[in-house]
Amino acid sequence: MFATTRWRGSATALRAVVVAIAAALMTSLTLAGASTASSAAETFTATETSTQSQTVTVQEWATVGQFVGYGTATATASATVTLSHTAEAAWEASYWATWNAWIAAVEEAKAKADAQARPIAKAQAQADAQAQADRAALGYDATGTWTATETVTAQEWVTIDQFVGYGSAEATATATATGSAHAASQAEADWWATWNAYLAASEKARADADAVARPIAKAQAQADAQAQVDRHARGYDATGTWTATETVTVDETHTIGDVVGHGSAEATATATATGTAHAASQAEADWWATWNAYVAALTDARAQADAEARPIAKERAKADAEAQVAAGIEATESWTATETVTVNETAVVGDFVGHGTATSTKTVTSTKTVTSTTHWEAYYWAVVTAQTDAIAQAKAQADAEARATALAAAQADAQAQFDAAQVPVDSPPAGGGTTPTGPDCGSPILKSDGTPWACTFVDEFRGDTLDTTKWHPITTMESAFSYGDCFLGDRNIAVSGGVLQLSTIHETEPVTCDHPAGPVTTNYTSAAVSSFGKFSQAYGRYEIRAAMPQTNGPGLQSALWMLPQNPQYGTWPGSGEIDIVEFYSQYPDRLIPALHYNSVLPWGTRTNNKCLVYKPTDFHTYVLEWTEQKLTISIDGTLCLDHTISPLAPLVGSAPFDTPFNLNLTQMLGTGDNAFPEGQGIDKATLQVDYVRVWQ
User: For the chain, what percent of residues have pLDDT higher than 90?
Assistant: 69
Contacts of 368 (CB under 8 A, 6+ apart): 332, 333, 334, 382, 385, 386, 389
* pLDDT one-digit tens code per residue, 198-213: 999 999 999 999 999 9
How crowded is the C-beta side of 154, counted as CA atoms within 13 Å? Answer: 22
* pLDDT one-digit tens code per residue, 398-448: 889 988 998 888 888 878 877 777 654 444 444 444 444 568 898 889 988
Whether the upstream peptide bond of residue 656 has omega within 30° of 0, thus cis, is yes
Taking the C-alpha atoms of residue 340 and residue 394, their distance in angstroms, rounded to an integer, is 8
37-41, 56-60, 322-326: segment of lowest average pLDDT: 37-41
- Asked if pLDDT for residue 15 goes beyond 70, the answer is no
Q: How many residues in the chain?
A: 696
Evaluate whether 459 touches 466 at the Cβ level (below 8 Å): no
Phi, psi of 517, deg, nearest 5: -90, 0
* pLDDT one-digit tens code per residue, 634-672: 999 999 999 999 999 999 999 999 999 999 999 999 999
Q: In this structure, is the dihedral angle defined by the CA atoms of residues 572, 575, 447 and 419, taken in order, positive or negative? A: negative
Phi, psi of 219, deg, nearest 5: -65, -40
Domains, the chain, in order of start with CATH, read 3-138 (no CATH), 141-234 (no CATH), 237-326 (no CATH), 330-418 (no CATH), 527-695 (2.60.120.200)
Phi, psi of 396, deg, nearest 5: -65, -45
Taking the C-alpha atoms of residue 264 and residue 320, their distance in angstroms, rounded to an integer, is 11
Tell how far CA 587 is from the center of its chain: 34
Could you list the beta-strand ranges (E) of 431-519: 455-459, 472-473, 486-487, 493-496, 499-513
Q: Is 489 helix (H, G, I), strand (E, B) or coil?
A: coil
Query: Which pTM does this prediction carry?
Result: 0.45
Closest among 250, 252, 242 to 302, alpha carbons compared = 250
Phi, psi of 286, deg, nearest 5: -60, -45
Evaluate whether 356 touches 410 at the Cβ level (below 8 Å): yes
Cα dist from 434 to 373, 429, 437, 441, 442, whole Å: 81, 7, 9, 21, 21
- Asked if pLDDT for residue 552 goes beyond 50, the answer is yes
* pLDDT one-digit tens code per residue, 99-135: 999 999 999 999 999 999 999 999 999 999 999 888 8
